[in-house]
Structure 1
Amino acid sequence: MTVIVESLEPIALVGAGSLTKADVIEAQTFASRVVAADGGAAHCLAFGLLPEAVIGDFDSIPKAVLAEIPADRLFQVSEQETTDFDKALRSVTAPLTIGIGFGGARVDHFLAALNSLVRAANTRCVLLGGEDVIFVCPPELQLELEADTRVSLFPMADITGRSTGLEWPLDGLRLSPSGRAGTSNTATGPVHLSFDNPGMLVILPRACLSEAVRALQASDARWPALGA
């Protein structure tokens, strides 16, 4: 897919799901540049933001919203094989993307967002919303967490790995979406994670957003691009 936005700085990617002013403020703490995924453009305008690009199939953007955005910032991708989040995430190149507005009442939409997150495991993307931050763990990751911090791990594939700093270590376990998961684990202090294959979602308390951003940007390890 063609790169539409190329940035040396983190990008805030806004979706059409549930969104609060706090989400916008926190995302912009780390990412001043804003891109909208389809209907997320309406959220942007409501919070006084003009996205530098709107990417999607445009099936959920009111005409009034489209009229307020310059035509050279509108990028319609008509194919229906992927979600708008997927389209936007694949069209942005940045050291880190913070996604907001990709959760909410529609569980199917949220599951689709997690699917897209895993499919783009070679990128650095953090989803922020509700009580959590969620991201795909790179091959290795060091998290500077305080003892008793909740660390939930949910495998989106059959995965093996190792850990230090968790109350219940991962060593010797085979984790799977239809088998053993790793939710509601607890840090005993700084946590080191390493995995043999991509697809492990790390879910931390919202208060850990800053540390998640730091840790992902500090990690040099990356999974290969999908299909590589």
Structure 2
Amino acid sequence: MNTKIVQYSAPVLLVGGGEVDRQVLAAALPTAGRVVAADGGAAQVLALGRMPDAVYGDMDSLSPEVQAQLDAGVLRAIPEQNSTDFDKCLRHIEAPLVFGYGFLGQRLDHQLAAMTVLVRRADRRCLLIGAEDVVMVCPPDLSLDLPTGTRFSLYPMAPVTGRSTGLRWPIDGLTFTPAGTTGTSNEVDGPVRLTLDGPAMLLILPVACLSALLAGLADAPGTWPARG
């Protein structure tokens, strides 16, 4: 079983088997130095004429016909059933940033599982990009320049506190929990700065904010440590 790490000094493109805008993915693939697929996501990459550098998963969604199209050494089966294919991929990628396509949309249970993995692997900076939204775990400190009125949603996956400027409803003094206070449908009213006290807050922005988010991440001073 070959499960070696994909290591790259620039962002890595990760493709799942869920809903993907083919035009968006086709535009992203040529700019990606490394492309990884999660199980059935390999079919979407191959269909656009790109050979993935690695395919991780239990291979229950990848037909023998598609597997036969993969170059030697690309298929890296991980048969255990205790983690999702997204988790299998993310823990085997070492890169400054991962762009994830094909993990949002369609099945709600798959989306919830992906959100859990984002928090579990918060040391791996990953953006999940869908048709409407981009989602990531908030880093410890993040500043963003977004248009006034932009939808700005925060959702806690565990108890977490923080501070903010530039939001219509500041988060200072609040304790967020999944079953208590959440921060969805907030709005930008100036230059945004967020500081979070733990790796448990999801940031959800309109996909049109992707460039602004990348600019903010380029200046973000730190990342969360790996879980023990």
Moved more, 183-192 or 218-227: 218-227
Partners of 1:95 and 1:190 lie apart in 2 by 25
Instruction: Specify whether residues 189 and 22 from structure 1 end up closer, same or farther in structure 2 by C-alpha distance, changes over 3 A only.
Output: farther
Instruction: Specify whether residues 216 and 202 from structure 1 end up closer, same or farther in structure 2 by C-alpha distance, changes over 3 A only.
Output: same
Deviations 1:48-72 (A, max 9, x none): 2210111111111011110110121
Partners of 1:12 and 1:220 lie apart in 2 by 23
- Deviation of residue 26 (structure 1)? 5.6
Query: Residue in 2 aligned with 1:216?
Result: 217
Partners of 2:24 and 2:4 lie apart in 1 by 26
- Counterpart of 1:109, as a letter, is H
Question: Quick check: 2:21–2:131 contact (8 Å CA) kept in 1?
Answer: no
Deviations 1:156-194 (A, max 9, x none): 011110000000000011111000100000011221000
Instruction: Specify whether residues 29 and 213 from structure 1 end up closer, same or farther in structure 2 by C-alpha distance, changes over 3 A only.
Output: farther
Query: Residue in 2 aligned with 1:68?
Result: 69
Instruction: Specify whether residues 167 and 26 from structure 1 end up closer, same or farther in structure 2 by C-alpha distance, changes over 3 A only.
Output: farther
Partners of 1:128 and 1:99 lie apart in 2 by 6
Question: Quick check: 1:52–1:73 contact (8 Å CA) kept in 2?
Answer: yes
Show structure 1 runs of 5+ residues with no match.
none
Correspondences of 1:132-211 after superposition (within 5 Å): 132-211=133-212
**Alignment partner of 1:95 is 2:96:** yes
Partners of 1:226 and 1:129 lie apart in 2 by 27
Partners of 2:46 and 2:225 lie apart in 1 by 36
Partners of 2:157 and 2:31 lie apart in 1 by 27
How high is the TM-score relative to the length of structure 1?
0.95
SS in 2 for 1:64: helix
Size of the alignment, in residue pairs?
A: 227
Query: Residue in 2 aligned with 1:48?
Result: 49
- Deviation of residue 30 (structure 1)? 6.2
Alpha carbon RMSD of aligned pairs, Å? Answer: 1.6
Instruction: Specify whether residues 133 and 80 from structure 1 end up closer, same or farther in structure 2 by C-alpha distance, changes over 3 A only.
Output: same
Partners of 1:84 and 1:137 lie apart in 2 by 23
SS in 2 for 1:72: coil
- Counterpart of 1:66, as a letter, is Q
- Counterpart of 2:62, as a letter, is I
Show structure 2 runs of 5+ residues with no match.
none
Partners of 2:145 and 2:187 lie apart in 1 by 13
SS in 2 for 1:214: helix
- Deviation of residue 32 (structure 1)? 3.8
Percent identity between matched residues is: 53
Correspondences of 1:77-116 after superposition (within 5 Å): 77-116=78-117
